[in-house]
Amino acid sequence: MSATFEELKAAHPCFSVGAKASRGRVHLPVSPGCNIMCNFCRRDINDTEVRPGVARGVISPEEALDVAKRAVALRPDITVAGVAGPGDSLATPYALETFRLIRRYLPDMLKCMSTNGLLLPYFADEIIDIGIDALTVTVNAVDPGIQARICEGIAYKGRRYGGIEAAEILIMNQLSGIARVAAAGITVKVNTVLIPGINEAHVPDVARTVAERGAKIFNIIPLIPQHKLADRPAPDCALISETRRSAERYINVFRHCQRCRADAAGIPGGEDVSGKLYIRPVVLEDTFSHG
């Protein structure tokens, strides 16, 4: 059975400022591929950048279980096993395979997964059955016209879609998937990348819409100018604060995101111990991440 929202606030660093200071997570980079093409996303394999979509390499579910065991032995304050890339967690089967192993061999660890939500309706029952405790879905717009400016296209059911058609499919699947998972009692957090000149005025609509579908917490992530949005300015503190205030009319807003790597380990904002856990570099295919 999945942890409740109140339980997550006490034990998950992404749900409480207090937990952030005393609870850690280990991100397991088991997802190599992605099925959407975001204009702000640039994935890479390195050990220096601190941002989503970056890892030292990709590991297998069995290797991930070993990493999780060693992480807990190294830092008993690590209470969460998460999969946040470097690709999308549902684009390949490895994230769900990893969580099955975590459930069997580390049953006390919270299970946290991030996804772009394109395939969420198709895997919702499996996510519920595995007992994922916290699901993060990246929803950058609920207006297809705005979404089409953020995401170039999607790969869906053996075809590539672009423009408004891709945006409509993605939004429909994200919202229906969130509603299905939330109705089963799983805590849903929504990430929205704040992109000046594209979606800053629209973010409150996203917050309201996902809250209506059952999302419990909302995380506004400032754009990192890169890839096809490299010439777009990063939002300043005033815009971030105002957007958070506007969104907070509809949903709890998370305010201490560290924009973690896909292989981060330790307490967010504190010492990162991933270098002691991930040793073997693995070459990653050139695909895209949802960020």
Instruction: Annotate the chain with DSSP letters as a single string.
Output: -PPPHHHHHHH-TTT-HHHHHH-EEEE---B---SEEETT---EE-SS--STTEES----HHHHHHHHHHHHHH-TTEEEEEE--BS-TTTSTHHHHHHHHHHHH-TTSEEEEEE-STTHHHHHHHHHHHT-SEEEEE---SSHHHHHHHEEEEEETTEEEEHHHHHHHHHHHHHHHHHHHHHTT-EEEEEEEE-TTTTTTTHHHHHHHHHHTT--EEEEEEP---GGGTTSPPPPHHHHHHHHHHHTTTSEEE-------TT-EESTTS-B-GGGT--S-----S-----
Q: Give every CB contact of residue 271 below 8 A, 6+ residues apart in sequence.
A: none
Q: Which residue has the higher pLDDT, 45 or 247?
A: 247
pLDDT at 1: 66
Taking residues 176-202, report their average pLDDT. Answer: 97
Taking residues 111-133, report their average pLDDT. Answer: 97
pLDDT tens digit sequence for 8-44: 766 676 766 555 567 788 999 999 999 999 999 877 6
Taking residues 177-204, report their average pLDDT. Answer: 97
pLDDT at 251: 96
Question: How many angstroms separate the CA atoms of 281 and 169, rounded?
Answer: 36
Q: Which of 81, 83, 60, 63 is nearest to 72 (CA)?
A: 81
For residue 88, pLDDT beyond 90? yes
pLDDT at 182: 97
For residue 266, pLDDT beyond 70? yes
**Where exactly are the structural domains of the chain?**
5-276
| CATH code at 5-276 | 3.20.20.70
For residue 279, pLDDT beyond 80? no
pLDDT at 10: 65
Taking residues 113-122, report their average pLDDT. Answer: 97
- Cβ atoms of 45 and 284 within 8 Å: the answer is yes
pLDDT at 227: 87
pLDDT at 282: 44
pLDDT at 204: 98
For residue 234, pLDDT beyond 60? yes
pLDDT tens digit sequence for 148-182: 999 999 999 999 999 999 999 999 999 999 999 99
pLDDT at 44: 62
Mean residue pLDDT across the chain: 88
- One-letter amino acid at 165 equals E
For residue 136, pLDDT beyond 80? yes
For residue 223, pLDDT beyond 50? yes
